[in-house]
Amino acid sequence: AFIARTPLAQELGIRCEVMGDEMTAIMPFHEKLIGNVTIRALHGGAIAAFLELTAQAQVFLVTEHLTHPPRPINLTVDYLRQGHAKETYARASITKMGRRMCSVQAVAWQEERAKPVTSLMAHFMVGGD
């Protein structure tokens, strides 16, 4: 539901498959996502945005008290491999959930989950104002 209401997720064409408390996000390939036309690599910003949205969606999935999206405190993105011009998948896991903030790790891959293209570590504000 969070992804469906997010304009950036709609622009990127992101969809999610949920089984219980586990979610896989899928970003289909579109030509507009190419950052380097010479080598046909996905733009790093598109992948980072995809991972941030995946992390936020995972927080929403497992918390019932949130009335607004988790607000990012900080994000660290590691680009591990070239993102090719193909469908990209991501999963996120919450490593710590507190009353005011949570820590989330997310990983994106393309053909093999064991070969991630990008990873993200994020901290989000989830409580208090």
- Kindly report, residue by residue over 57-94, the tens digit of the pLDDT: 999 888 877 888 899 999 999 999 999 999 999 999 99
Residue of 7 and 128 predicted with greater confidence? 7
* CATH number of residue 83's parent domain: 3.10.129.10
* Mean of the per-residue pLDDT values of the chain: 94
Stated pTM of the model:
0.93
Residue type, 57: A
What separation in angstroms does the CA of 26 have from each of 1, 94, 96, 127? 14, 19, 24, 28
Confidence of residue 129 (pLDDT cuts 50, 70, 90): low
Domain interval for residue 119 = 3-125
Q: At residue 67, what are phi and psi to the nearest 5 degrees?
A: -110, -10
Question: Domain total for the chain?
Answer: 1
CB 48 within 8 A of CB 118: yes
